[in-house]
Structure 1
Amino acid sequence: MVDVTLEEDNPTTRDLLTRLPTTLRLEEFAGREKIGYPSPGLIVEGSPGSDPEDGDLIYFTPWGNIGFYYDASGIDYSEKTIHLGSYDATPDQLAAFDDTDVTIEVVP
């Protein structure tokens, strides 16, 4: 289990919240993040871009994927990267989710 805090009040985060619980298959991407694809893609109009950091949960608009960044070094601000929140897990903990269906849900 990985605890995620949705911190942003933007249309993309609100859309994700309306879909919970949801299940995504996560996969490794580029030695930087774990990614999964909600279907259909999330609403992005009206959501600002961001400069991602390690531990950020993002939505990348061109591909329509949610990403758990664990190595955001050298990645700068982009209008295409929408910040949703943050998570608390090590890269080793995230590795347990490679090629696995993961359920994202609200925990009271």
Structure 2
Amino acid sequence: MRRKLLITGSAAIVFAAAGCTTPVGPASSTSAISATFPPGIASASSSAEGTVVRFTSGETAVDVTIESDNPTTRDFLSMLPLTLSVEEFAGREKISQLPRKLETDRSPGSDPEDGDLIYYAPWGNIGFYYDTDGIGYSDQTIHLGTYDGSVEQLSRLEGGDVTAEVVHQQ
């Protein structure tokens, strides 16, 4: 019995060291955060703050600096790299639908400002805000980071494939 436990324990250590995880619930569930981070993110215990995500389409690139270390930002980073499409929404933001909803438990809402990249939980999309006039705090709008780009740059992301990938981690 002791030998069987030793072998089982050793196998668990090997799987843990290899980065294997056991899925919890269906693939579309937001009840568990992936323990795997993209290249450049050392581990789930690493802070997401300071990570730079680049959104690129053709010759246009918009860099976002992740400013929050919460379950939503870590889950977003775990999905990268991604190919997305960006579209205009309501004359206030450029949005992109993610392939699945992100974990939102224990992630605070926000009062978005121009230049924010947010995650809108009910729709499962990210948004590059450029006109937040009249938009207030919402528990459903989770701040991911900030970008330094113009509306023209954001517009050039529309209409084609946009690659989102980590280019730097603090």
Q: Same fold (TM over 0.5)?
A: yes
Structure 2 spans left out of the alignment, 5+ residues? 1-60
1:1-58, Cα deviation, whole Å (9 max, x unpaired): 0111011001000001111111111100000000001111111111110000000000
% same residue? 64
2:142 is aligned to 82
RMSD: 0.8
Q: Looking at secondary structure, tell me which structure has more helix per residue.
A: 2
2:116 counterpart (49, 53, 56): 56
Structure 1 spans left out of the alignment, 5+ residues? none
C-alpha deviation, 1:99, in angstroms: 2.5
Question: Does 1:9 find its partner at 2:69?
Answer: yes
Task: Please give the alpha-carbon distance, in whole angstroms, between the structure 2 residues aligned to 1:33 and 1:21.
Answer: 22
Question: Does 1:65 find its partner at 2:125?
Answer: yes
Runs of 4+ in 1 over 4 A off after TM superposition: none
Q: Partner of 2:147: helix, strand, or coil? A: strand
Q: Partner of 2:162: helix, strand, or coil? A: strand
Larger Rg: 2
2:94 counterpart (34, 38, 54): 34
Q: Looking at secondary structure, tell me which structure has more strand per residue.
A: 1
Amino acid across the alignment from 1:83: H
Amino acid across the alignment from 1:79: D
Normalised by the length of structure 1, the TM-score is 0.96
Residues paired across the two proteins, number? 108
Q: Partner of 2:166: helix, strand, or coil? A: coil
Task: Please give the alpha-carbon distance, in whole angstroms, between the structure 2 residues aligned to 1:54 and 1:43.
Answer: 24
2:161 counterpart (88, 101, 105): 101
Task: Please give the alpha-carbon distance, in whole angstroms, between the structure 1 residues aligned to 2:102 and 2:85.
Answer: 16
Amino acid across the alignment from 1:49: G
2:56 is aligned to none
C-alpha deviation, 1:100, in angstroms: 2.2
1:56-81, Cα deviation, whole Å (9 max, x unpaired): 00000111110000001110000010
Q: Looking at both structures, which has the greater relative contact order when contacts are Cα pairs under 8 Å and sequence separation is at least 6?
A: 1
**Conservation of the 8 A alpha-carbon contact between 1:27 and 1:100:** no
